[in-house]
Amino acid sequence: MTQILSSDGRIAITFNVDWRPCPWTVYTKRGEQPPGFYKFKAWQEVVKAAAIVAMGGRPALCGPVVLEADFYLPLPALPKYLHLDSAKTADKRDAWLAKHLVMRPDATNLLKAFEDACTGLVWQDDSQVVRTVITKQFGTFGCTVATISASRTDQLVGHTHTAKLSK
C-alpha cells in the first residue's frame, strides 16, 4: 500500500489485492446462488481487507474520485501440441492465444465487483467514481492493483456548463 499526495495536494491511494480477481455475479433471491458466487464474495472480502489497510483508519473519501484498476488473471495453459517451438506451430499458437486472451470475465464486471467492495471504505458510494481506467491483463498469477485519487471538481464542469453557471 502506498499513499501519496499529488503535486496539487490531492490524496492518492494505491493498493494491491493478491487474489485472483472475480467478476460481479448476479444475486438470486430464490434457490441456489449462481456458479462463482462464493468465489466472488470471497474475493470482495479480500478487497475489503486490503482497502481497510490502505485507508489506514481514515474515513471514506467524500468527493469525486478517479479509479485506475489493473486486473491480472492467470494465463490460460497452452495445449500440449502448441508447446513446440517451431515455425509450424507459431501461427496456431498465436491464433489460440488471440482467441483465449479475449475471454471472460469482462473487465467491466471485474470493475463492478471491485467498486462494490470499496463502497463505504474507500469512497462513500461508487457513484463518486467520475473517471475510470481499467486494464485486464494476464500473468503468472491473479492480482489487482488499484489507484484511487481525489478528483478536482473544477475538472468536472465542461466549458458550456461553466458559461451557463457564470450568468
Q: Rank 72-76, 78-82, 152-156 by mean pLDDT and report only the highest.
A: 72-76
Its domain, for residue 57, covers 2-165
pLDDT at residue 153 in the model = 57
State the CB neighbour count (10 A cutoff) for residue 51.
24
Rg over alpha carbons for the chain, rounded to the nearest Å, is 20
pLDDT at residue 104 in the model = 78
Q: Which pTM value belongs to this model?
A: 0.78
Overall domain count for the chain = 1
pLDDT tens readout for residues 29-61: 677 777 788 889 999 999 999 999 999 998 999
Q: Provide the CATH number for the domain around residue 138.
A: 3.30.1330.70
Q: Report residue 122 as a C-alpha cell.
A: 474507500
